Amino acid sequence: MEKSTKNKTQPSGNGSSDSAEVVLPSLAELTDEELEALSDEEFLAGQGELLLAEKNLLLEQAASLKLEAERLAQEAEPGEVQFDEESGEGGTTTVDRERNLALAAQARAGVDEIDEALRRMAGGHYGVCANCHTPIPRARLRALPYARLCVKCKAGGLSALR
């Protein structure tokens, strides 16, 4: 996951007439102590920006992979095998196409998780474990912004929830 390159700015408050601004770091650049010191509103705003940036990245990846899969399907003849010159191992374009489609589906699933996190945020339930209903630590949410479970519940068993 990439850091947000769009940082918030605030007036410097030094009373000068120039429009100097202080650049605030993105959440990914904060220490755990600085992260905990943020107000809930600041934290949620930062997480919202992070989720939207990740969603856009995943949507772009899914579209690109799908286009590549379609290109491979149009170029290849059925059963065509291409051999890698170095290893001599054959790989069909069908395998490449299926891999791209699977990766595109995985990216779309990530978008679904992000959309669910944004719904939890809008509903006031973001950062609350879906299993034990305790707050999820901010450090975990920074690492996995769409996390649905706290570390204890996630480690407690196999679960499709994050």
Helix axes 93-122, 40-75, angle to 10 degrees: 160
pLDDT of residue 28: 64
pLDDT at residue 3 in the model: 38
Rounded Cα distance, 78 and 82, in Å? 12
pLDDT band at 83 (very low <50, low <70, confident <90, very high): low
- In the prediction, which pLDDT does 156 show? 81
Domain ranges, ordered by start, for the chain: 9-155
Q: What pLDDT is stored for residue 88 in this prediction?
A: 46
pLDDT tens-digit profile of 18-75? 444 434 456 667 677 776 777 888 889 999 999 999 999 999 999 999 999 888 888 7
Find the length of the chain: 162
- Top-tier CATH class for 9-155: mainly alpha
- What pLDDT score does 162 carry? 52
Distance from first CA to last CA of the chain, Å, rounded? 16
The model's pTM: 0.67
